[in-house]
């Protein structure tokens, strides 16, 4: 029974499988039919594409032909335009030439009008000139009469002029004599002036015999420095006067202080320092041609403002006072003093060189150093 049951089940299984195969075969048949239909559609589409491609090739060929025709037409059109432009240019040139000819004609017509006016003007001028010549002839006759009259007056004037020239010659001779007398008087006055300066210097030296000749030597050194700096003769003369008188204020300082051999006390040195101001007071009312009183007042001022009596500095100090200041130090250091032996010109030049730009004006120092070291100048005896 069991075996029969198994056979039934097996048969049923086989039937089911056969039915599935039949069903699968039917589906395959349907699929094949569908595939055949699709292949026919593809073949039909391929044929249509071939026809469409042939049509497209034909259209492209037509377009190329049309494009070629357009190129030829454009070339023809460009040629025609070029011809038109050429003709237009020729017409423009012809018009310009015509305008130029018309302008030339107009210009020539204007010139003819001007020439006619000029001829008319010349005729008028000739007539006017003829009238003027008539008037001029009358004027000339009048002038000749006036000249004759003037000639007679000139004869009289010449006689008067001869008399005046004789008077002028006489006056010139008198002036020459007077000028000679004035020149002699000026020389006498100048001589008297220098004798007064020398007397003033002598009075100072009498107060301090140990510095005899100091003022004169300072004057000569200052003049030499001034010449080196380009000062003219008048400026050099002013430096000489200032050099002679720069210490005149020492006449107010007691001689025992001036000639003291040892070191000065502060009070004594303060008294010595008053000589610059005292010298100014002595000279301020003297009408020198130079600023002598001011130079004397400032000859102990220093470039950096450390001098006395006013503590002036730089450009506030008179240039002549700067020269006297340097000359004063050079002479003093190179000469004997009651309180020391002479230090010599080398030490004096080193002193002002070290003080250039501080105590002394650099330009003055430079001139002084050139004078002694390059030009062989020496302190006057």
Each residue's pLDDT expressed in tens, for the chain with a length of 381 residues: 667 788 888 888 888 898 889 898 888 888 888 888 888 888 898 888 888 878 888 887 788 788 778 878 777 888 888 788 888 788 878 778 888 888 888 888 788 778 778 878 887 888 788 788 878 878 888 888 888 888 888 888 888 888 888 888 888 887 877 777 766 765 655 564 566 666 566 666 666 655 668 888 999 999 999 999 999 999 999 999 999 899 989 888 888 887 788 788 999 999 999 999 999 998 999 888 999 999 999 999 999 999 999 999 999 999 999 999 999 999 999 887 766 677 899 999 999 999 999 999 999 999 999 999 999 999 888
pLDDT at 116: 77
pTM value is 0.52
Cα 337-338-344 angle, rounded to 5 deg: 25
pLDDT at 60: 79
């Amino acid at each position: 029974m069991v075996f029969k049951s198994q056979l039934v089940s097996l048969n049923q299984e086989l039937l089911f499988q056969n039915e599935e195969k039949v069903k699968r075969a039917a589906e395959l048949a349907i699929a094949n039919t569908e595939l055949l239909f699709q292949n026919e559609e593809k073949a039909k589409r391929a044929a249509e594409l071939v026809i469409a491609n042939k049509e497209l090739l034909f259209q492209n060929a037509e377009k190329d032909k049309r494009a070629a025709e357009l190129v030829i037409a454009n070339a023809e059109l460009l040629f025609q335009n070029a011809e038109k432009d050429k003709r237009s240019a020729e017409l423009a040139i012809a018009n310009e030439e015509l305008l130029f000819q018309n302008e030339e004609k107009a210009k020539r017509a204007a010139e003819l009008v001007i020439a006619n006016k000029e001829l008319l003007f010349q005729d008028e001028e000739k007539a006017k000139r003829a009238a003027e010549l008539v008037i001029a002839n009358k004027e000339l006759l009048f002038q000749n009469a006036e000249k004759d009259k003037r000639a007679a007056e000139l004869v009289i004037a010449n006689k008067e002029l001869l008399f005046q020239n004789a008077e002028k010659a006489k006056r010139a001779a008198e002036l020459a004599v007077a000028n000679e007398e004035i020149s002699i008087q000026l020389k006498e006055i100048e001589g008297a002036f220098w004798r007064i300066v020398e007397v003033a210097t002598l009075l100072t030296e009498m107060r301090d015999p140990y510095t005899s000749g100091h003022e004169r030597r300072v004057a000569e050194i200052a003049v030499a420095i001034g010449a080196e700096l380009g000062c003219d003769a008048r400026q050099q003369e002013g430096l000489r006067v200032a050099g002679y008188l720069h210490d005149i204020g020492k006449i107010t300082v007691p001689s025992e202080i001036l000639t003291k051999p040892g070191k000065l006390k502060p009070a004594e040195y303060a008294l010595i320092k008053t000589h610059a101001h005292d010298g100014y007071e002595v000279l301020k009312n003297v009408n020198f041609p130079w600023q002598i009183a001011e130079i004397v007042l400032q000859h102990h001022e220093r470039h950096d403002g450390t001098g006395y009596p006013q503590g002036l500095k730089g450009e506030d100090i008179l240039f002549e006072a700067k020269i006297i200041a340097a000359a004063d130090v050079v002479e003093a250091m190179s000469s004997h003093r009651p309180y020391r032996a002479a230090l010599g010109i080398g030490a004096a030049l080193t002193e002002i060189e070290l003080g250039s730009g501080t105590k002394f004006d650099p330009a003055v120092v430079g001139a002084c150093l050139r004078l002694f070291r390059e030009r062989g100048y020496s302190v006057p005896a």
